[in-house]
Amino acid sequence: MKEKLINGLQKFAQAMFVPVLILPIAGLLIAFGNLFTNAGLLELFPVLDNPITTGFGTILSSALVSILNNLGLIFAVGITIGLSDKKRAEAGFTSLLAYIVFIYAMNAFLELSGLLVDPEALQGTGQSMVLGVQILDMGVFLGIILGVITALIHNRFADTEFDNAFQIYGGSRFVFIILIPITVTLAIIMSYIWPVIQEGINSLGGFINQSGNIGLMLYGMLERLLIPTGLHHLVYTPFLYTSLGGVQEVGGQVFEGARNIYFAEMADPNVQVLSKTVIWDARGISKIFGLIGACLAMYHTAKPEKKAKARAILIPAAFTSFIAGVTEPIEFSFMFIAPILFVLHSVLSGLSMVILNLLNVRAIGPNGFLDFLIYNVPLGFEKTRWPFYILVGILWLGCRNPKF
């Protein structure tokens, strides 16, 4: 029994590589495209500010961002293919059909139940648009569930054939027939279960807000830890756009939410130092520095015969995280293969935000290094103390390497 479980987990880990190995490619090209559309770089290099180069960058980034916006579908198909023992192409196609059935079934049930929110105001509601269909935001968790279910049913029934008039219903068609009621039922069940999970995450917001640095550490940890479920949006969104992230008067107007506050403070020349609420958007510390340390550690610990392959995966993943703050390529590389490391990464991310807060660093750092420079350098040292952000990041990079 134990050996069977271990073999199953190993097979699942190998199946994860099917979708995961696509992400570094997408992330690298997104970062490359952003170089041609970044406002700060266009000011430094005016020659790039023309319709051809900016158009190229916009098209390239938009095209590849679609990969990150549809990770649920990609994981559903990829995991199904990876776990299938036979007829893998048909298995992947069946998982695509199951995914489509699921999202439309959930949308229909939510609409019949009167649970669909205004599609123009989805931010922070726990719902999102998936392939143009409004459903609960389950992130890649949905893809993983459907991928595993589809593969299990495919392996069991893909060879089932019928005679005479029923012949067309055999093989992968029979698998799909079995999947239809399972998928529809799952969509209805998750419509009840997932909001409870989302509500639990939302209720943590008040606790985090009232818990000082302990709450801040929990905030930074959950913001990373919940990425595969899509629930991480429910962690940071209330702090960025509601009173949970602070209330501040700037220029005679009252602003709520960390991001709204620091945007107003950036534009007000009378503000000498950004308010402490900016710490809720210092999430980029692990994206810019932390994951580079993780990549270096994984490369150093790779077996000699695997180093070339590891280098090909890790270099573009680290570059993408550093430049653009796109972390999925590297985080998804070890999330399911080494879950303990992913938990450690999440804890260290929260701890790094606490250190920034203790040092009164007021730098804006939600994403990658390019955004960090553009936000903070023009504001100056006194207003942000941004060099300390970099110093903490470098120290944190060195800390990540041996721990990983």
| pLDDT tens per residue, range 64-73 | 878 877 888 9
How far apart (Å, rounded) are the C-alpha atoms in residues 357 and 371? 20
Q: Is 255 helix (H, G, I), strand (E, B) or coil?
A: strand
Handedness of CA 179, 184, 189, 195 (dihedral sign): positive
pLDDT at 342: 83
How far apart (Å, rounded) are the C-alpha atoms in residues 281 and 69? 22
Quickly tell me which residue has 């079995």 as its tokens: 178
Model confidence pLDDT, tens digit, residues 101-115: 999 999 999 999 999
Question: Tokens for 272?
Answer: 């000498």
pLDDT at 216: 93
pTM: 0.68
pLDDT at 112: 96
- Other CB atoms within a 10 A radius of the CB of residue 7 amount to 10
Question: Tokens for 1?
Answer: 């029994």
The list of the chain residues with pLDDT below 70 reads 1-2, 5-6, 9-10, 13, 24, 27-28, 31, 40, 230, 333-334, 336-338, 399-404
pLDDT at 404: 52
195 neighbors 234 (Cβ within 8 angstroms): no
Domain ranges of the chain: 86-211, 212-403
pLDDT at 215: 92
Q: Is 209 helix (H, G, I), strand (E, B) or coil?
A: helix
pLDDT at 116: 93
pLDDT at 9: 65
- In 3-state terms, the chain is what percent helix, strand and coil (to 5)? 75, 5, 20
